[in-house]
Structure 1
Amino acid sequence: MKPVAKMSAQELAEACARVMWSTDDASQGLDMMLDYITPGEARISMTVTAHMANGHGNCHGGYIFTLADSAFAFACNTYNQITVAQHCGITYLIPGRVGDRLTATAHEVSRQGRSGIYDVRVTNQNGDRVAEFRGHSRTTKDTHLPV
């Protein structure tokens, strides 16, 4: 692997994502796919299965939140600084249905010092907005890759 100091911003984002994905049992356990990564942005998708349905027959909100949270995590961890969630909120707009392919697209709104704000839009396969999520991040002193 190329030394971190010689990586482009895109190479660094991809390398950090590989390290995170390799131990992300939660996202992988839900059959999520990391579809796209670039500095400050990520796109992750998953198909709603029958075991994700709530008592109304819709996708349980916790699974939608988890998808959005995973995209948030990958977006804010693209700079080789281990970054964690400080606060998150979600607004559900329409139900996800069993069989829907949901996609969470995260993008950086602000990154100042150790704090960041990221918006995540969750859509279904038709492009309908299922939820809007906002995450506030906090960086730690640790890194994903040796510096």
Structure 2
Amino acid sequence: MTPQDRARRSAEAMWADDAASKWVGMVLEDIGPGYARMSCMIRPEHLNGHQICHGGVIFSLADSAFAFACNSHNQVTVAQHNTISYLSPGQPGETLTAEAREVSKQGRNGITDVVVTGADGRQVALFRGASRSIKGTHFEEET
């Protein structure tokens, strides 16, 4: 099995049970080994009291992209800790895109960076996630 096939099958297995990402309105656009791209259109229920996208929605989008990227090796992987810096507000009706890239994977530990951009290409947020692989796989691979 190629690394790309493994990433695709892992993402399919995760997406099937990912009620939270679907509920928020996220779309998994692309997947690869250590990589994921997700998007979400900002709906009225995503807005805070300033009528801009709530930071928790932006964080959720980045966190989901992080999860799909670091789980792309068919090894169950969870977050250890994450940080986010908000740079520009998400606007009503705008589609935000989160692009996650694994920058380090050493044994069971990984670091993944996620850039969230607005429809015009501006950076909305920068997210860094630390991951830890645990017992289990997303699907059974033939040997």
Partner of residue 79, structure 1? 73
Q: What are the ranges of 5 or more consecutive residues in structure 2 without an aligned counterpart?
A: none
Q: CA-atom RMSD, angstroms?
A: 0.6
What is the distance in 1 between the residues matched to 2:42 and 2:72? 27
What is the distance in 1 between the residues matched to 2:135 and 2:51? 43
- The answer to whether 1:133 aligns with 2:127 is yes
Q: What are the ranges of 5 or more consecutive residues in structure 1 without an aligned counterpart?
A: 1-6
Of 114, 118, 122 in structure 2, the residue corresponding to residue 120 of structure 1 is: 114
What is the distance in 2 between the residues matched to 1:31 and 1:141? 29
- The answer to whether 1:105 aligns with 2:85 is no
What is the distance in 1 between the residues matched to 2:32 and 2:101? 10
In the TM superposition, residue 146 of structure 1 has moved relative to its aligned partner by: 1.6
SS for the counterpart of 2:93 is: coil
In the TM superposition, residue 30 of structure 1 has moved relative to its aligned partner by: 1.4
Instruction: Name segments (4+ residues, structure 1) moved above 3 Å.
Output: none
Kindly provide the CA deviation profile for residues 15-73 of structure 1, in whole angstroms up to 9, marking residues without a partner as x: 00000000000001112110000000000000000111101111000000000000000
SS for the counterpart of 2:137 is: coil
What is the distance in 2 between the residues matched to 1:108 and 1:78? 10
* TM-score with structure 1 setting the length: 0.95
- What are the equivalent positions in structure 2 for 1:1-12 lying under 5 Å apart? 7-12=1-6
- What are the equivalent positions in structure 2 for 1:14-33 lying under 5 Å apart? 14-33=8-27
SS for the counterpart of 1:143 is: coil
The number of residue pairs the alignment matches comes to 141
What is the distance in 1 between the residues matched to 2:96 and 2:128? 17
In the TM superposition, residue 139 of structure 1 has moved relative to its aligned partner by: 0.1
What is the distance in 2 between the residues matched to 1:141 and 1:112? 16
* TM-score with structure 2 setting the length: 0.97
Q: Which one-letter code corresponds to 2:101 in the other structure? A: H
